[in-house]
């Protein structure tokens, strides 16, 4: 059993599984968002979590004081995701029946006094948060390691947990992409959301059915690409950033033979059976063309599809293209992951001469 879970947890397998689970969750959100589902899920998750924690190897990583926040995050994200689906499911049901969202009922539109209604809620939240923090602070001492030593690097040298999704991207992309361009795209993309999503529905209440594109796009980026990668980076990456199953001991001598090949090597050596050309641009021509096609040719192609035309009609050319380009940039990560796993592909474009590897 433990062997099996170690085997499944490898991103090669767990990433597709998470994607399928995500698809099912979003597609059947009304089932997932039911109370019954929550109880069943808890009945499965709690014993499983206990069983996981009972393993000494996993436990060692689990209770590192610096990992506690991730556990809190996971519990909260899990519950609040369910809770949002729950509220959206109720609202969507009501909207179908012509009743409108719960937030819009006359009773909920009624104005209430800030004092005491809101002020007391806030007071309660403050007291709860303070107690929580104090208990947390008493239970877990803030760790302190050896004094800084610039000549000796710990292995693995991990970034703070909230950046581990980015560090995990380093497996698939060079730092200029994983550490600069893609985070920049995330920030710009987030700020752009309100200007791209012109759907007037779903403003001020929980719903999924009324804004499917926004919901699927955002949740995929947030739950799968951000949260899932943080889990991988925290719990499943050990020394040298190699993969370790949750029940696996972090053995510093584990060597994983990995031999990844560039697209240009595939092309010239494997397929054409010749030597690599001298000129770097000729050498990388296929990858350059493919990358350009991905970013420049693909958007107009999608615009010509039935679905693309429908969207352009709604939001206009400009918004549509920005949306597609952002989406393609986001999807470049899962695409690169899958290519790596299927073909051991290292770089699509490998121009180390310019430090430009894709």
The smaller minimum CB distance to another protein, of residues 48 and 117, is found at: 117
Q: Which is closer to another protein, CB of 5 or CB of 87?
A: 87
Q: In the bound complex, what is the minimum distance in angstroms from residue 198's beta carbon to another protein? A: 9
Answer for the pair 246, 52: CB distance below 8 angstroms, yes or no.
yes
Site for another protein in 170-199 (CB under 8 A): 174-176, 178-181, 187, 190-191, 193-195, 197, 199
Nearer to another protein, 52 or 218 (CB): 218
Residue range at the interface with another protein (CB under 8 A); choices 154-162, 284-292, 323-331, 333-341: 154-162
CB 264 within 8 A of CB 276: yes
Please report, in angstroms and rounded to a whole number, the separation of the first and last CA atoms in the chain: 38
Instruction: Identify which range of 110-118, 250-258, 322-330, 332-340 contacts another protein by CB under 8 A.
Output: 110-118
Residue 354 binds to another protein (criterion: CB under 8 A): yes
Tell me the site size for another protein, rule CB under 8 A.
96
C-alpha dist (Å) from residue 195 to 87, 212, 320, 323: 25, 17, 11, 10
Handedness of CA 135, 137, 138, 140 (dihedral sign): positive
d(CA 346, CA 118): 55
Phi, psi dihedral angles at 299 (to 5 degrees): -55, -50
Nearer to another protein, 146 or 313 (CB): 146
Site pattern 34..73 for another protein (x: CB under 8 A): --------------------------------x-xx--xx
Task: Judge contact between 219 and 208, C-beta under 8 A.
Answer: no
Name residue, tokens 């952002």: 326
Least distance between another protein and beta carbon 35 (Å): 14
Determine which residue in the list 39, 51, 59, 162 makes contact with another protein, applying CB under 8 A. Answer: 162
Which H helix or E strand runs over 278? none
**Does residue 93 interact with another protein by CB under 8 A?**
no
User: Which residue in the set 3, 122, 251, 258 belongs to the binding site for another protein (CB under 8 A)?
Assistant: 122
Closest contact distance (angstroms) between CB of 185 and another protein is: 13
Region from 4-12, 116-124, 281-289, 299-307 binding another protein, contact rule CB under 8 A: 116-124
Rg (CA), the chain: 24
257 touches another protein (CB under 8 A): no
Structure-token pair, residue 91: 């609202």
Cβ count near 158 (within 10 Å): 16
The piece of 145-153, 269-277, 297-305, 315-323 that touches another protein (CB under 8 A) is 145-153
Q: Using the rule CB under 8 A, is 97 a contact of another protein?
A: no
The answer to whether 164 and 238 have CB atoms below 8 angstroms apart is no
CA distance 335 to 328: 10
Cβ at position 113, least distance to another protein in Å: 5
How far apart, in whole angstroms, are the C-alpha atoms of residue 127 and residue 334? 42
* Out of 160, 253, 275, 304, the residue judged to bind another protein by CB under 8 A: 160
CA dist 156 and 167 (Å) reads: 11
Which residues from 269-328 bind another protein, rule CB under 8 A?
none
Which span (25-33, 48-56, 204-212, 284-292) binds another protein, by CB under 8 A?
204-212
Binding test (CB under 8 A) with another protein, winner from 42, 45, 53, 133: 133
252 near another protein (CB under 8 A) = no
Q: Which residue carries 């710990």 as its tokens?
A: 154
Structure tokens at 125: 């939240």
Query: Shortest gap between Cβ of 172 and another protein (angstroms)?
Result: 15
Stretch of 34-42, 43-51, 102-110, 245-253 lying at the interface with another protein (CB under 8 A): 102-110
Among 17, 20, 40, 80, binds another protein (CB under 8 A): 80
Please list, in sequence order, all residues whose beta carbon lies within 8 angstroms of the beta carbon of residue 323, skipping any fewer than 6 positions away. 196, 311, 315
Cα distances (Å, whole numbers) of residue 150 to 79, 146, 154, 175, 279: 42, 11, 10, 21, 40
């Amino acid at each position: 059993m433990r062997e099996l879970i170690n085997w499944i947890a490898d991103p090669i397998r767990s990433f597709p599984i998470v994607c399928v689970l995500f698809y099912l969750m979003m597609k059947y959100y009304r089932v997932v968002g039911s109370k019954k589902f929550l109880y069943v899920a808890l009945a499965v998750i709690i014993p499983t979590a206990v069983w996981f924690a009972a393993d000494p190897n996993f436990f060692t990583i689990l209770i590192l004081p610096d990992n506690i926040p991730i556990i809190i995050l996971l519990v909260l994200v899990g519950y609040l995701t369910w809770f949002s689906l729950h509220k959206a499911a109720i609202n969507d049901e009501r909207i179908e029946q012509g009743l409108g969202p719960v937030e819009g009922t006359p009773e909920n539109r009624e104005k209430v006094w800030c004092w005491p209604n809101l002020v007391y809620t806030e007071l309660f939240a403050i007291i709860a948060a303070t107690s929580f923090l104090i208990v947390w602070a008493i239970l877990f001492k803030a760790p302190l390691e050896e004094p800084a030593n610039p000549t000796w690097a710990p292995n693995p040298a991990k970034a703070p947990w909230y950046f581990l999704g980015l560090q995990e991207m380093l497996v698939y992309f060079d730092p200029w992409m994983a550490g600069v361009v893609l985070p920049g795209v995330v920030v710009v993309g987030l700020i752009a959301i309100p200007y791209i999503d012109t759907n007037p529905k779903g403003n001020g209440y929980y719903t999924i059915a009324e804004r499917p594109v926004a919901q699927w796009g955002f949740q995929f980026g947030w739950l799968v690409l951000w949260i899932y990668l943080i889990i991988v980076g925290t719990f499943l990456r050990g020394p040298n950033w190699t993969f370790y199953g949750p029940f696996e001991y972090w053995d510093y001598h584990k060597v994983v033979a990995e031999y990844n090949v560039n697209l240009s090597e595939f092309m010239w050596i494997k397929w054409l059976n010749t030597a690599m050309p001298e000129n770097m641009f000729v050498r990388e021509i296929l990858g350059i063309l493919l990358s350009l096609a991905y970013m420049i040719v693909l958007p107009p192609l999608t615009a010509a599809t039935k679905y693309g035309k429908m969207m352009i009609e709604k939001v206009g050319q400009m918004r549509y293209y920005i949306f597609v380009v952002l989406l393609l940039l986001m999807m470049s990560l899962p695409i690169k992951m899958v290519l790596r796993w299927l073909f051991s592909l290292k770089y699509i474009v490998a121009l180390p001469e310019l430090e430009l590897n894709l």
